[in-house]
Amino acid sequence: MTRLFGTDGVRGLANDTLTAPLAMKLGAAAADVLTRDRPSSGRRPTAVIGRDPRVSGEMLAAALAAGLASRGVDVLRVGVLPTPGVAFITDDYGADIGVMVSASHNPMPDNGIKFFSKGGHKLPDSVEDEIEKAMDSVECQGPTGTGIGRIIEEATDAKDRYLKHLAESNILDLRGLKVVVDCANGAAHEVAPEAYAAAGAEVVAIYDKPNAYNINDDCGSTHPQHLQKAVVEHGADLGLAHDGDADRCLAVDAEGNMIDGDQIMAVLAIAMKSSNTLRLNTLVATVMSNLGLKIAMKREGIDIVETAVGDRYVLEELNASGYSLGGEQSGHIVLPKHATTGDGTLTGLKIMSEMARTGKSLKELAGVMTVLPQVLINVPVADKSRIMLAPEVVEAQATAKEELGDSGRVLLRPSGTEQLFRVMVEAADQEHARKVAGRIAAVVASA
């Protein structure tokens, strides 16, 4: 049986594989599991539900609220808010459950459901498995009468609380910096420009007018070309690109060059080492991070711990070992002192704070790391689970590794959120990496 939860919650085509009845059952099951060991306090458990602006979010949030309330949970709906904002508000309100309805960077027709436990923490696999099992029994009799949960529509102070939290996260005065921010017509369309302006930056916002249908549509962190052009046209010091739920951030320097998550981590790791805030002198990254990051960190005397792909695995390592910085090449940057998940707006503020502190351009700061050529090919497949075991794929991977030797690497993995198989190759030469990746991708496609 295919597991319902993927790398980042439950995700699928809204009203097809991800339906309102499924969301209602998920809400009820999550209520049963996440409040099961809750000590008696004389009040009902509470849940926070936020969403990004895509049209199906309204339907799914309503279904989740109904499911939660049917099991005796009071629900606070906070409307459109970034994923890290929902995580923060879950903790700030003292709620027992947090829920974010978003498919992050996926196209508008998709949607997803992410759960947070008390304190705003993502759930481990074991707890997600419990929720999945509990869905079989949610038809059992729930509470009646006064035991049914209440639903409060649009808790009005959530955004202001989140903005106040961002402002208090050791941000320097950003006056003198001009930033273009691509909001992806997503959850950060208000929060990100307001947070940057409140810190003193001059802000030019683009793709900040969601209409329920245009989220991630040729914009945001997966389509940065328009941001690159806008930064140059506006004479800005930098650009920042968020995804649909704003838990990630990529950057653009003043010349329009992309600065990815690896480079951002390099900048922040070195800054935190110099201020003695890089715990255990260690950065947590995933197996997808560029070899150039490892080389740069070794030169700077900073250790790297690698995890599987997914910011939840970065978070698990950060929390288990007490590290203070981690992230992904895709722009999920986690700073546990300030956030329980990746926070794109916070990342943007930290990047600009380092520019303000040092007086250096983003290009100069990011120059501490040389990005080695890396090619990623996403191959559509019918069955992700069998590709890794296909003999022809195993042979193609082994041949490529032998060919590249110590000067490159090969990484094959199924997508955790889409019906894709990812082929990543790094090599000293871009053309060589492209040829090797193309050869393996062809084998995957035929398999």
Q: Is 104 a catalytic residue?
A: yes
Give the tokens for residue 21.
């009845």
The whole-number mean pLDDT for each consecutive block of 10 residues of the chain, a chain of 447 residues, reads 83 97 97 88 91 98 97 96 98 97 96 97 93 87 92 90 95 96 98 98 98 98 97 98 97 98 98 97 94 92 93 92 96 96 97 98 96 90 82 91 84 82 89 93 90
Ordered by start, the domain boundaries in the chain are 10-159, 169-366, 374-446
In one-letter notation, the amino acid at residue 47 is: A
Which 3 state secondary structure label does DSSP give 283?
Answer: strand
Question: Which of 56, 70, 102, 104 is flagged as catalytic?
Answer: 104
Q: Is 429 annotated as a binding residue?
A: no
Report d(CA 182, CA 393) in Å as an integer. Answer: 38
pLDDT at 144: 93
Contact criterion met (CB below 8 Å) for 346 and 339:
yes
Q: Is 52 annotated as a binding residue?
A: no
pLDDT at 1: 53
pTM of the model: 0.89
Report d(CA 357, CA 376) in Å as an integer. Answer: 35
Report d(CA 293, CA 289) in Å as an integer. Answer: 7
Contact criterion met (CB below 8 Å) for 356 and 362:
no
Contact criterion met (CB below 8 Å) for 396 and 439:
yes
Q: Is 243 annotated as a binding residue?
A: yes
Same fold, 10-159 and 169-366: yes
The sign of the CA dihedral 180, 184, 190, 192 is negative
Q: What is the CB neighbour count within 10 angstroms for residue 273?
A: 18
pLDDT at 90: 98
Instruction: Write phi, then psi, for 112 (nearest 5 degrees).
Output: -155, 165
Give all strands of the β-sheet with 249-253 in edge-to-edge order.
202-206, 178-182, 238-242, 249-253, 258-259
pLDDT at 47: 98
Q: Is 137 annotated as a binding residue?
A: no
Report d(CA 430, CA 213) in Å as an integer. Answer: 37
The architecture (CATH level 2) of 169-366 comes to: 3-Layer(aba) Sandwich (3.40)
124 vs 5, 10, 49, 56, CA distance in Å? 11, 13, 19, 26
Report d(CA 5, CA 9) in Å as an integer. Answer: 5
Q: What is the CB neighbour count within 10 angstroms for residue 411?
A: 16
Strand 420-426 vs strand 303-307: parallel, antiparallel, or unpaired? unpaired
CATH 3.30.590.20 fits 10-159, yes or no: no
CATH assignment, 374-446: 3.30.310.50
In one-letter notation, the amino acid at residue 1 is: M
